[in-house]
Structures are given as structure tokens and as C-alpha cells.
Structure 1
Amino acid sequence: MKTCLLVSAAVLAITTPAFAQNADPSPTGDAAPAKRDVAEKEVFSTGVAKGRDRLDSATSTSALKGDDIQTLGARSLAEILRNIPGIRTESSTGEGNSNYTIRGLPLASGGSKYMQLEEDGLPVLEFGDIFNVASDIFIRADFNLSAVEAIRGGSASTFASNSPGGVINLISKTGDVEGGAVQVSTGLDYGEHRLDFDYGAKLSDTVRFHFGGFYRVGEGPRATGFDAYRGGQIKFNVTKQFANGFIRVYGKYLDDRSPQYMPVPVKITGTNDKPVFSSFPNFDIGKDSTLSRYNPGLTTLDGANQPYHDPISSGLHAMVKSVGLEAQFEVAGWSISNRARYSDISGSTLRDQPFSIDTASAMATAIGGAGATLSYASGPNAGQRITNPATLNGNGLVGNMLMPEVKVHSLNNFTNDLRANRSWKVGRGNLTVTGGVYKALQTINTDWLYTNVLQSFSGDGNSTLIDVTNAAGTPVTQDGFVAYDLNVTPGTYRRKFDVDYDITAPYGSVNYHIGKIAIGASVRYDMGKVRGQVFGSELGGGRIGLTSYDFNNDGKISIAEGKTAILPLTRPAPVHYDYNYLSYSTGINFRIAEPLAVWARYSRGARASADKILFTSAVSPADGSMPVSSDGYDTVKQTEIGVKFRKSGVNLNVTGFLADTTDHNVQGGTGLQVLRDYRAYGVELEGSFRRGPFRLTAGTTYTHAELVKDYLVSAVNGNTPRHQPKFIFQATPEFETRHFTVGFNVVGNTSSYAQDTNLLKMPGYTVVNTFLQIRPVERVQLMVNVNNLFDQVGFFEVTQASVPASGIGWGRSVNGRTISSALRFSF
């Protein structure tokens, strides 16, 4: 890291004295201008060699402006990104740990494996799908946000590492537009109170700044029984403008807690092709959660094998302290830019998820044997026997629940991207050459902790823990805890990671633009070194995974305390392997006329495998080597062909795509190891229209995806991957005048399969969100947003592979209707 910092400083020392032009061409540039005619030329700069008018670029790109994002009233980053064509999000997990993918690329696990989430041109985490700690946990959208740029496929493979599917870049305001705003908002039918603010101004003719942030507190859109949202963020930047470029320093402090919503009980009847999903009594699948004020949280041994407790209210806890530097200068005809950032990242992710759900009496027998009885372990009735389990909470259900927590000691990372480009007149055209070196250091230092409890299901955050006593009168559980371990597979998945990733990636491109034709090619070579150690009983060699511990200090070891997970700290397994892979992309763009262009592109990119392969046969537990070098990364090969049209307020982009993908993974929710080949093809449409006060933006993506070959479970070969609909779509019509803006936002998808076996279908759904902004006087705005206006039930995850005979299942639906209001003052 010190070497990279010195390189960054040297670049600045070389470039700062030579001043030539007056510009700030930074792709992280500037506050979004006011809403404009969509026919206006816009330069797109994310994931490409150099910012160009989109009609001159052989790429598929989109952008959302900050003002438009505020209008949508999205409650999370995932809800913002679902408005970008081609991007599929499973967005009702809460503020973070949502699932993202692009154009049918596989989504076997959580996070965003093939898509890179960036903030101001650099990745938030080098790997977007680290187990249970995805990138979106550590990034927030607030008034600092100028725009969101997204590139799908194309040159994303060569202008960023680990991003063969695409790049999404959150771009901050930089103070070029003076002024700011303060906004207070609240949930009208749910608990959340939030303050947002930002301000930017010039300190002199050549120095400007911007800062902003937010703070919030409240229960959130689902009932938990406590303030599940607590925290906020502060960001700032200062830009010094020179005659030939600029230098910018920036920083961020994020300390925020939010809940992660896991699958809840759902009644499933009907047939696999036409299932009927409904709520059980006293538990609404759209508004309730497994979280509860009567759940004390996680109790187990920590990564040092010491007693540890974390309250359930900790949820997703993100701690980020980052500082960065960005510079760009024109030197002797070359445009030289450098971005560098160091992020200190820690926190934890604690959730409450079902392993199984059954009737209370059946669960008592399963845990305690015939004749077992139940009693309340927490809540106002703690200690009382449950005399009629069938009527418990009006639904008679009890869940065997897992409470996993990933304790994040460090996801610290340093990233530096040095780039230079220049254009020459060659013949009748212009030749542009770009070269750069990308350097990244990423630490993964985490502990996997698990506890197993029994829990009832009661709405409004009133679920309680449940105790079981066997027929002989012996308690089988302790204070609701079945085990201080993952009892369903004792002694496993109790893991500790302490691994560092060192990535170096030189890259370059050439582009020749002559008349109406632009031809370009780019290449990138990623070289990675992975060093460290991991701990876990599954690694063999006599490693232990279970012990006993007296958690309640009563001098006795209960049945539950005898099932305590422990790490074999004296028996680490080394991690010591290298990988390298080549990415390339080539494309051609033909500007047929001023408003019309056609283009084509072929790309091969890859994504390095991170923590998901460390407890598999891909990495030797004896010496940390990787016997098969190709296990170190997964490839994505893509073919794209498109048409772009832009004229007089009309904008239309149509892209056909074909992608072949390999995937080494661990399937989210099941722990199932995955080794597969996928294929996806389809068509992506994006359009916008504006006439006077009316504006419409819309998009839809058709995808045919196939699980071509599963090397471990051949029975699913040829099936459609789970959670993959044929169509995803979004549309936002709005009407804007000086004094008000009104409109609605529609998002949805067609049906998809719950699991790879392709039996149970999750029906398609459409969610309608509405917004109204009123500006009674200058600089004052009142806003009301209604998310899920019609209280639609829409499942994006169901655990069951077919309709269960008992009718008891569990899954995740979109959040039910929520209404918020806001008052904003601009100055």
C-alpha cells in the first residue's frame, strides 16, 4: 500500500506544474444539472477508455440523475438500481446484502458477483459477493449523489477488475453548482425519521467544496419491535482547479445500522405451476419480519473462542472511514488521471433466518421427542407453559431458526487507478490510445458465527423464543437456544478468514474514429496473489468443531450448552496461490446519421474467485495451493449488437446480447457448492420521451437463461436458473410544472422458478410507486411518496422447490405499502 501511495504522489508531482487547459474532465465530476431535454448530448465515462457521446460509443449505458433518484423515493440502493434496464435486483432484503445481476448472468449466491459497484470511479469492495457482506452494505445514496452511471457488458471487462457483467458507479457532487438543501422526512405509516443535508460552494476562483450526509432512526418498513435503522453518513470533497486540470481530495464516514429481512412464513397451496401464496394469521408477509423485540440476539463463542453476545438490533452494521484523491491533468498532449482511495471497513451482519418451520406440536416432537412440551422462553409470558400449541399466536407455528453473524474485523482496501490517453490525427481520422495500471489490495478478515434458536411468529415484532422440555422433564433448549452452534450440521460452517488479495492489472485500448465509423479494442491482464489462512473443522486433519460452555454460569452444562461451536485456532489451513487471466473487448460503432447509430461488440472478461472457494476442493488445505489454475476465476464471454436513436426528445436504445458464463460458488441460503456453466441471451430495450411538461422513461429486458451444465448435480442440466424471469421491466411517466411534479414508477417481472429443479413457480408481479412534489414558494418543496401503492405481494425468493404437503413454506416478498413525506428547503 505504501508503494501505491508513493506512486500516486509521484504522478501528482510530475503532472501538477505543467498547466495548459482549463477543464475538469473528471468522470466523477459535478452536480447534476437541472432536468433537461433527453435529446441533449451526454458524455458517459464509467467503464470506458474516455468519455464520449453515447451515440459514438459501442456500449450499452444508462444514467440516473440525482434529482430523478430523489423523485423516485426509493428506500434503498437496490430500489434505485432496479430502475436501470438489464439489471435484476432482489431488493427487499433491507438496506444492504441485496442480490444483483445483469442480463441473465447467474445469481447463485448473494451480492453482485459479476457486477462491480463503484463510488466515484473506484470499487467499494474488490469482490461484490463476499459471503454475507456485499458491497451495498457499505455505500449509501443521499444528497451527495449527483448521478448513477451503469455500463452493461462491453468494455466493463477491461476498464475495471472483476466486472465482466458491468459497472455501476455512484458519482458524488463536487460543488460546481453553489448552494445546498436540508430535508426532513418521515414515514407516515411506518417508523422512520430522517434528516438529509448538503452544501457546495466556491472558496475562491479555483477552489470549491461539497459536503453532505444524513442521519436516520426508526423501525423501518417492516415491523421489528425496535429501532432497526440507526445511523448516518458524512461525505466531503475539495477540488483545486488549475489551468490544465484539477486535484480533488475527498473523505467519507459511515456508521449505520439497518435490518436484514429474511424469509418469513408463507402459506403455499395450489399447484407448482399455479401456486397460491398467502399470509398466516397474525403474520403479514408484506409487513412483518422474523426480527423481534423479544429476541435477545446471538450468543456463542467468538473467533477467539471467547463468550460473545450481539443483540439482534445490531443487524447490518456498516463502519467505513475512507479518504481518497483524484487528479487529472493535460501534459504534453496527454491526459493523465489518477484515482486513489483507502477505506477502513468493519462491522457485522446479524440476521434471523428459518431453517425449518412447522406446527408447534410437530416442532416440539422433532426437537424433544414424543411427549415434549413447549413454554415461552422470552417476552411477557416467559417461563409459562404453552398449553395449546395449535393456537399459539393464532397460527400455531414455530421456526427452527438460524442466527448467523459474519463479524467483520477488516474489509480494508486500497485502490489506485493510473491512466493516460492521447489522440492523434491519423489519415482522415482520429486515433485515441489509452494505457493504465490498476492496483488493489483487499483484506478479508471475518468470523462466521452461528446460533440456533426456536421462535414463534407474531406480527408487529412480537415473536418470542420458545423452550422445549422432553417427556422426562429435562430441558432440551436453554432460554430458547437449541444450540450455540449451527445445530442442523453440528461443528460446520464455523469459520475464520484472514486472507489478503493483491491485484495488479495493466490495461490499454486503441480507438480509431473516421467519419461515421469508430473501431476500438481494449485488453486487460489481471494478476492476483492470495495469501493468508483460514480456520474451520471442515478442513480435515483432526480439527475439532464442537465443545461445551457454561453460558449462564450455573455450574452445569445443559443439552444446548453441550452443542457449542469452537474454532481449531491451533490448526490453520494456509492460503497461498496466484492467479492471472486475460480480458479483452472489441467493438465497432457506425453513426449512420446524427440521430442514429448501430454497433456491435464481443468481450471476454472474468471475475476472480474470492472467499467462496476457500473451503472447497479448489484450494488445498494442506499447502494453500490451487491445483487447477482455472479454479481461480470465472469467465464471461459476451456478444452484443445494438441500435441507438436520439432526436427531438426521443431516446431509444435496443441491444441484443449473448453471454456464456462459468461459476464457482456457494449457493446462498443452502451452502450448496456450485460448479456450473450458464448461457443467457435476449434483448434489452431502453427509451425515454419528453414533450413539454410530460416525460416518460421506460425499459424492459427479455432473457432466456439456461443452466447448460452442472458438474456436481447433473439432474438440473438444461433447466432455467432459479429466480430468473423471462422479462423484467420498469417505467416512470411524470408531469412537471413550475409548482408541482406528479407521476408514478412501475417495476416488475414475469414468473420465475423458486429453485433450479424448475418445479415451483413464483408468479410474476408489478409494483406501482407514486410521487407528488409541490413547490408552493421558491426554494420550498413538499413531497409524498407511496411505495407499492396497491400493496402487491411479489415473491423473489421461496425456499421450497415444490408446493409442500403441509402448506407451510417460507420466502421473501416485496415490502408492502409504505407512505413517506418530506419537506425540503433549498438555499
Structure 2
Amino acid sequence: MKIRHTLALSAALSAFTTPAFAQDAATQDEVPPAIDASEIVVTAVARGQNVLDSSVSVSSLNSEAIVDLAPRSSAELIRQIPGIRSESSGGEGNANIAVRGLPVASGGAKFLQLQEDGLPILEFGDITFGNADIFLRTDYSVARVEAVRGGSASTFASNSPGGVVNFISKTGTREGGSLGLTAGLDYREFRADFDYGGSIDADTTFHIGGFSHIGDGPRDVGYDGARGGQIKANITRNFANGYVRVYGKYLNDHSVAYLPNPVLVSGSDADPTYTSIANFSINSDSLHSPNFRPITTLDQANQVETYNINEGMHPKVLAGGLEAEFDIGAFTVTNRFRYADISGAFVSPFPGSVTGAQAAANAIGGPGSSLFYASGPQAGQIVANPATLGGNGLVANIVTFNTRLNSLDNLTNDLRATTEFDFGGGSASLTGGFYYSQQDIDTAWLWTSHLMSVEGNGDAVLLDVRNAAGVPQTQNGTVGYSAAFFGNCCRRSYDLEYTTKAPFAALGLEFGGLSLDGSVRWDFSEAKGRTFGDGPVTTRDINGNGTINRAETLVSVLPTTGAALVDYDTDYVSYSVGANYLVTDSFSIFGRYSRGGRANADRILFNANNVDPATGALRSSDVAVDFVKQAEIGAKYRSGGLSFYATVFDARTEEENFEATTQTVFSRAYKARGVELEGAYRMGPFSLSGGATYTDAEISRDNISPANVGNTPRRQADWIYQATAAYDSELFGLGVNAVGTSDSYAQDSNQLVLPGFTVMNAFVNLRPTDGITLSLNANNVFDTKGFTEAEEGSIPANGIVRARSINGRTLSASVRFDF
């Protein structure tokens, strides 16, 4: 359903504008590369504070650091922030992201909110096949990225108790612009970035920026999997007592969604060795191929429709908003409003299993079955020797995730008023506000099943099976017009609307070097709508030739009656209290305790134990909201060019969840303790910065699988870390960057280990003349193998594990013109 709202009300609210995350329009475009004691924290706090005076853990990256690091996705950039675990292996989106100590039981960023200019990209960061980072792109329009872990994120944003990562845009306070052209040297992608901003008159500034790209992307898929772009623009009018800003964004992009790929694992679960399969590099290949493009299935109305796998992750966003801040009497009234029309698709092949070619044929057609090429240069010919098919004799039983994102439309408005006054010999600030959002989740799962060779370089082909009598068992490589390899599950549609209303308040006190603050938020969440599915399996003449083959007996349809209703309300209270003491001008200590909630959305549906399908009511209020409780104690030091921050944390997390790829339901609790470290040093043109987080985590309760209690949550490493060393002079700059993790477990059973790894990145910049910069960037210089997840919990008999890996080495060259 489309968001229903009153335009007149929206316009009225917008007349006050800017939210609980407002930034000063005059200072946001440029900040130092490292956190500075004088830098103002604007994300997830009641009012702007410098770092040493705040009782939150915060980090930022500025625009120049973003350019130097040349991340291939937003998730690759986010992994540079201390304390954040970003599994950047999904491509331009579809990353799993979590803050220190909090789990990633399923996909997306459940407890972390991704924002653009202080408002959420989506209200829920883990919508199935609609993760928030899919709709986020990093380009020259970004002034800085600011991240708050834990703390006041519980009360200054809804559904984000773990933290907030805020991508803050340039607003034209610095006159000039840039044009950058980038080409992959060992991968095929070409990209153009631009931005320009400045003054229209003495009181008005503007900024415009964006990008366009085309090519395979960082992995060889054999077609233009990456294509499209983005444009963002804003205009700011300054007044004597405030400002008004109008802004917009248009994103229409395609990128390849990398899902788990087959890799050979030998040794033992505790000490495994991961090796690429013959003719398939786990670092640079994918099961995507130009020989697997059209996908025929039934659409949401149960009519035959053909889609294309090259649609990939396809975000379409048309967003606009209005922001302002004004001093009215003793109050500073701020508000931010945005409406985003969001749609698109998520299409990608998932290997339900990988097995020997002949065994795969026999499993479909019975003993004595034969394989035939269904696509590619040998289409129609028999596979003479299945043992050598594709150079490795393997076949992938593919379930194609073809999900239509009909509407993820999002309306948000955040209004607050702040006043300051003398109190008890010190000063006080009082903030009150109200947040409102509507979030559509209108999606359809139209999955199909296919048989495919396992080949790299974009050479994989579809395969047909004929039984011993020569009767076709598949149709043009299609095994079934359903998720046949998943038991014909998952023909679904969601038509939902979530409304969130949240009054919030904060009180801050300062007495000399002592700062105290407390905040509270009361979220009211309303879920309404309906779902259909999982669809029944029937017989249908898909190709219209008047006969029925085996594949056409495996056709999933969406039921048109008998919708499961969703109709429930819930509310919860979040709070956060903190104290900071400035011991000296360069050293402070702080402590904080917070409880924040996350309202669950689509992932608790299709489960009658959670929601009554007849009435839409909750079976138990416990499944509606998951709470996170966090305690933090830390110290901050900054003097001259040296800064160092340390935070000890304790986190307790509840979680109700569902994972689409494994059809697994989660109902459990976690606890974690650890320490987060961050430091930076600058001396002249030389700088060094880094961070490391140690986490000791365990599953403390599991209602589904009690045997997991006491185990380490899957993919939770003891250590994650990052470091950058750079030298920057007038003529040239160079730097190296390392990002790494220690060992973790593939699954909660704590058997198969995902080995730790360190990725080295490097950059060199040359400035032959003013306004021109030549750059060479290398990501994963040593082509390191790094695995972020695996479907198998232990090594199977054939030694083939389906795992998602980081990208291998990619080299790019660019020229940038500044003017």
C-alpha cells in the first residue's frame, strides 16, 4: 500500500524544521580526518557537543578520507569505523552490519540505523531483501560520515538501540566543486563523480552532486551488472535567526547482489583450509552469467511474466525534504521532514546446494539421466562428460531470489525544541520533541529454481535434464517455477504499513567540568496490512505449447484469498542516562547506561506463533519489540596531534527473527562484554589512526535450539580492527589501510570456523598542478580470502561449503579535477 499522509500537515510541520540530529549548516562541509576535541557531535544527541564533553562513543570520516579509501560500497566504508562490524561481502548493498556486542542473527542492520542527513533511509534496517544500505550510495556529495555506538542512539532515534551511522551531505558552504573519473584496472567498471556548491547570494548556498557508473563491478559476471547512478541537491537560505534548506535525491542504480558461492574446504571444522574450486575463484567470480538472464515465472497476479537476472539490486528512490532551524524566543525550534518514494527489485541466484553433475541429474530425472546445455554457445547439445563439466564437474541447484520491491515508501518527520537556562550555579538544557514516520513494506517473492554449471569469468550456463527414456525433466534450465530446492516454499507477498510515533525529551546539566544528561523516548508502533502465501504448488502450461512437462508441475502461485491479517499496536519506553567529567582540558571520563527497543517488522510474520493470521493480533507482546540494554564506561584524551578513546561495554540483547535463505526462526537472548579502542596521531603531513574492538559474546537463551546456549553467536569474532597510516604533502599523498577480524564460527553450533583475515588497502595521490589529482587505489592488495558467512555449520562429505567472501584484489585509477 502507498503511504497515506496529509500534505497540508507535512507542510506545516516542515515550517519548523530539523530533528534530533540536526547539524550546523555553517560547519558541516569539512571536518578534520580524526575526531577532534573541538569537533561538534551532531548525531543522536540532544544538542551539538564537542567530543570531550559528550558521554557517547562517536567517530567520523571526512570527505577526503572517503576519497582516499575508495570504498567499493557503503559497507566497505562503514567497516572503517571502530566498533562496527560490517560484513562487506554483498556488493553495493545487502551487507550485515552490527555494533559492538550486538548480534547479526539474520540479514541487514537490525539494531543499527543508517541515516542520510539525520533521518533514516528506512525505518527498519533489516527488511527482507530490502536492507537499508541497498538504498545508500557514497559519492562526492557526502561531507562526512558520523557514527554513534550505543548510548543516546536509544532515545534520539527510533528502532536503533545499537547505534546510528549518519551520512551528512555537503551544503555549499565551501565554494567550488570536483569532477572525478575512475576506471578499474583489473576489473571492468567505469565511474564518474561530480559535485559543485557555493553561494547564490550573501544568504543563500547550494550544492549538487552525484555519480554514474557502468561495468561488471568488482567481480567478473560477463555483463553490465553495475549501471545507473544518483544525483543529490540542496539549497539553503540563511536568516538572522535560522535557516531553511530544501533538498532532493534521485537514485536509480543496478548492482550485482553477491550471495554465497561454492568453496572447497578441507581439514577439520576447527582448523579448516578454504580453497577455490577449479575454474571458479571465490575472490573474483560469481554464479552470475550472461548465459543466465531471462527468468520466466508467475507475477504477483499469477500471470506469466519474464524478468531479467541482470536487474540485480535495483534501488529506485525519489526523495525530497525540507529542513529548517529558528530561534523563537528562548527556544531553538528545529525540524526535519522527508518523503521518499522507494521501489525496485532484488534478483540474484542462491545455490540451494552444490553437487556432482551426474548426481544432480539423477536426483531430478532418476538413474541414467542425461544433462544438456540449456544456454550458452553449446545450447541444445548433450554434456558428453558430466565429470568435466565447467572444468570441475559440479552443478549448482539454484533458487533465484526474485523479489519485487513494489513500495518501501517512507515518510519521516522529526521536530524538537531546545532551551538553555542557568541552574544551580551551572547551566541546563531542556529538549522536547516528537518523531513521526510511516513505512511501507509492499513486496512479492517470485522465486524459481534452476540447474547451473559452476564456472567463473561469467561463463556459467543453464542445464537441462532428460531421464533415461529421453523425456525432458526441465524447461530451458528451469527445474520448477517455484523454490523447488527449498521444498517449494516462499511464494509470498507482503502489503504492510508501519506507523511510528515517538515523543522524546532530554535534560542536560553542566557544572564546571561535570556534564550530566538523561533522555527518554516513548515509541508507539502500529502495524497494519496483510500477507499472502506461502503459495500452493500447481500445474500450469507456462510456455503455452499445449503440453505439460515436469517443470510445469512445480508452479507456485500466490493465493488470492485467505490473507493473513496484520493488525496490532505496541508501545515501549527507551531511556539513557550518562555522565561526563572533564578532568583536564584534554582528558575526560564518562559513563552511560541505556535501554533501547527495536520494534520488529516483516521478519516476525508468516509465523502463526507470533501473529494470529485470522485477526492480525499478536500472540504475545514479547515478539513485538526486542530490547537492548547497554552499560558503557570510557575515557577520552586529546592533546596536540594525539587522541585516544577507550570504552568498556556490556550489552544484553533480545531477538526475534527469521532468515529467508535457511528458513530459520530465531528466538533468543545474547550477552556480550568487551572493550573498544580508538586512537589517532598527527604530526605535520604524517597521520596514523586506528581502532580495535574485543568482544566476549554468548547466546544466553535460545527458545528454539536450547543446545546453543553458552555458544558464541555465529560470525562474532573476538577481535575486529582497522588502521590507516598516511602521508600527505602538497605534491603527493600515500597511505595504507588494514581492516581485519579474528576467527569466528560459521553457525551457532560452533563447529566450522571462519578463519580470521586482514585486508590491506593502499592509495597514492599525485598533484602535478593545482586542481588536478591523479590517484591509484588498491583494495585487498594481497588478494586475501576472507569469509563473512557460510551456510554449512560443518564440513560436508563432498567438502563444498557455500560461503560469502569479500572481494579479491581490485585496482582502480582516477583523475580528479577540483575547481
Q: Any gaps of 5 or more consecutive residues in structure 1? A: 17-23, 538-543
Asked whether 1:317 is paired with 2:319, we answer no
Over 3 Å counting, the alpha-carbon distance change for 1:655 and 1:611 in structure 2 is same
Over 3 Å counting, the alpha-carbon distance change for 1:5 and 1:62 in structure 2 is farther
Aligned to 2:645: 653
Q: Distance in 1 between matches of 2:568 and 2:799?
A: 48
Cα distance, 1:263 vs structure 2: 1.3
Q: Distance in 1 between matches of 2:69 and 2:16?
A: 44
Describe the SS at the equivalent of 1:560. helix
Aligned to 2:600: 609
Aligned to 1:738: 730
Q: Distance in 2 between matches of 1:234 and 1:302?
A: 31
Maintained 8 Å contact 1:31/1:175? no
Q: Which amino acid aligns with 2:575?
A: Y
Q: Which residue, out of 136, 141, 148, partners 1:139?
A: 136
Aligned to 1:769: 761
Aligned to 2:383: 386
Q: Distance in 2 between matches of 1:818 and 1:630?
A: 46
Cα distance, 1:667 vs structure 2: 2.6
Describe the SS at the equivalent of 1:155. helix
Cα distance, 1:609 vs structure 2: 0.4
Maintained 8 Å contact 2:23/2:48? no
Cα distance, 1:743 vs structure 2: 0.6
Maintained 8 Å contact 1:424/1:430? yes
Q: Distance in 2 between matches of 1:338 and 1:280?
A: 55
In the alignment of these two chains, the number of paired residues is: 814
Q: Distance in 2 between matches of 1:201 and 1:801?
A: 55
Asked whether 1:469 is paired with 2:466, we answer yes
Aligned to 1:519: 516
Cα distance, 1:516 vs structure 2: 1.2
Aligned to 1:573: 564
Q: Distance in 1 between matches of 2:5 and 2:752?
A: 54
Maintained 8 Å contact 2:14/2:322? no
Over 3 Å counting, the alpha-carbon distance change for 1:297 and 1:636 in structure 2 is farther
Q: Any gaps of 5 or more consecutive residues in structure 2? A: none
Q: Which residue, out of 769, 785, 795, partners 1:793?
A: 785
Q: Which residue, out of 628, 637, 644, partners 2:629?
A: 637
Q: Which residue, out of 770, 782, 789, partners 2:774?
A: 782
Q: Which amino acid aligns with 1:10?
A: A
Cα distance, 1:810 vs structure 2: 1.8
Q: Which amino acid aligns with 1:203?
A: I
Q: Which residue, out of 267, 289, 293, partners 1:292?
A: 289
Maintained 8 Å contact 2:182/2:814? yes
Identify which range, 573-582 or 546-555, moves more after superposition.
546-555
Aligned to 2:401: 404
Q: Which amino acid aligns with 1:458?
A: E
Superposition misfits of 4+ residues, deviation over 6 angstroms: 1-4
Q: Which residue, out of 6, 12, 19, partners 1:10?
A: 12
Aligned to 1:622: 614
Cα distance, 1:262 vs structure 2: 1.3
Aligned 1:671-686 pairs, distance under 5 A: 671-686=663-678
Maintained 8 Å contact 1:451/1:486? yes
Maintained 8 Å contact 1:60/1:152? yes
Maintained 8 Å contact 1:257/1:318? yes
Aligned 1:440-451 pairs, distance under 5 A: 440-451=437-448
Q: Which amino acid aligns with 2:222?
A: G
Cα distance, 1:34 vs structure 2: 6.6
Maintained 8 Å contact 2:33/2:65? no
Aligned 1:474-553 pairs, distance under 5 A: 474-537=471-534, 545-553=536-544
Q: Which amino acid aligns with 2:121?
A: V
Q: Which amino acid aligns with 1:120?
A: D
Q: Distance in 2 between matches of 1:515 and 1:773?
A: 45
Q: Deviations over 1:663-717 (max 9, x none)?
A: 0101352120110111111000011000111101100000111011110111111
Over 3 Å counting, the alpha-carbon distance change for 1:37 and 1:229 in structure 2 is closer
Describe the SS at the equivalent of 1:776. strand
Q: Which amino acid aligns with 1:766?
A: T
Q: Which residue, out of 807, 812, 816, partners 2:804?
A: 812
Over 3 Å counting, the alpha-carbon distance change for 1:545 and 1:351 in structure 2 is same
Aligned to 1:20: none
Q: Deviations over 1:102-161 (max 9, x none)?
A: 112110111100000000000000000000110111111101000001000000000000
Over 3 Å counting, the alpha-carbon distance change for 1:15 and 1:714 in structure 2 is closer
Q: Which residue, out of 259, 268, 271, partners 1:274?
A: 271
Aligned to 2:110: 113
Describe the SS at the equivalent of 2:553. coil
Q: Distance in 1 between matches of 2:531 and 2:660?
A: 20
Maintained 8 Å contact 1:770/1:787? yes
TM-score, normalising length: structure 1: 0.97
Q: Distance in 2 between matches of 1:718 and 1:643?
A: 31
Q: Distance in 1 between matches of 2:16 and 2:734?
A: 52
Q: Deviations over 1:248-302 (max 9, x none)?
A: 0000010000000111111110011110110111111101001001002422111
Cα distance, 1:581 vs structure 2: 0.5
TM-score, normalising length: structure 2: 0.98
Q: Distance in 1 between matches of 2:5 and 2:445?
A: 32
Asked whether 1:821 is paired with 2:818, we answer no
Q: Distance in 1 between matches of 2:26 and 2:375?
A: 53
Cα distance, 1:627 vs structure 2: 2.5
Maintained 8 Å contact 1:97/1:260? yes
Describe the SS at the equivalent of 1:203. strand
Q: Distance in 1 between matches of 2:788 and 2:201?
A: 51
Identify which range, 236-245 or 299-308, moves more after superposition.
299-308
Aligned to 1:541: none
Q: Distance in 1 between matches of 2:548 and 2:458?
A: 31
Over 3 Å counting, the alpha-carbon distance change for 1:116 and 1:808 in structure 2 is same
Aligned to 1:262: 259
Maintained 8 Å contact 2:44/2:153? yes
Over 3 Å counting, the alpha-carbon distance change for 1:631 and 1:567 in structure 2 is same
Cα distance, 1:549 vs structure 2: 2.2
Aligned to 1:65: 62
Q: Let me know the Cα RMSD of the aligned residues.
A: 1.6
Over 3 Å counting, the alpha-carbon distance change for 1:583 and 1:36 in structure 2 is closer
Aligned to 1:555: 546
Maintained 8 Å contact 1:346/1:409? yes
Q: Which residue, out of 370, 373, 382, partners 1:373?
A: 370
Describe the SS at the equivalent of 2:389. helix
Maintained 8 Å contact 1:302/1:308? yes
Over 3 Å counting, the alpha-carbon distance change for 1:468 and 1:699 in structure 2 is same
Q: Which amino acid aligns with 1:298?
A: I
Identify which range, 122-131 or 570-579, moves more after superposition.
570-579
Q: Deviations over 1:770-823 (max 9, x none)?
A: 000111100000000011101111111122211222122221221111100000
Q: Distance in 2 between matches of 1:361 and 1:417?
A: 59
Asked whether 1:589 is paired with 2:570, we answer no
Maintained 8 Å contact 1:30/1:175? no
Cα distance, 1:469 vs structure 2: 1.0
Identify which range, 659-668 or 584-593, moves more after superposition.
659-668
Cα distance, 1:653 vs structure 2: 0.6
Cα distance, 1:9 vs structure 2: 3.6
Describe the SS at the equivalent of 2:201. coil
Maintained 8 Å contact 1:262/1:352? yes
Aligned to 2:413: 416
Q: Distance in 1 between matches of 2:185 and 2:33?
A: 32
Cα distance, 1:201 vs structure 2: 1.3
Q: Distance in 2 between matches of 1:805 and 1:305?
A: 40
Q: Distance in 2 between matches of 1:607 and 1:104?
A: 16
Cα distance, 1:334 vs structure 2: 0.7
Q: Distance in 2 between matches of 1:668 and 1:15?
A: 39
Describe the SS at the equivalent of 2:485. coil
Over 3 Å counting, the alpha-carbon distance change for 1:37 and 1:440 in structure 2 is closer
Over 3 Å counting, the alpha-carbon distance change for 1:592 and 1:489 in structure 2 is same
Q: Distance in 1 between matches of 2:161 and 2:31?
A: 33
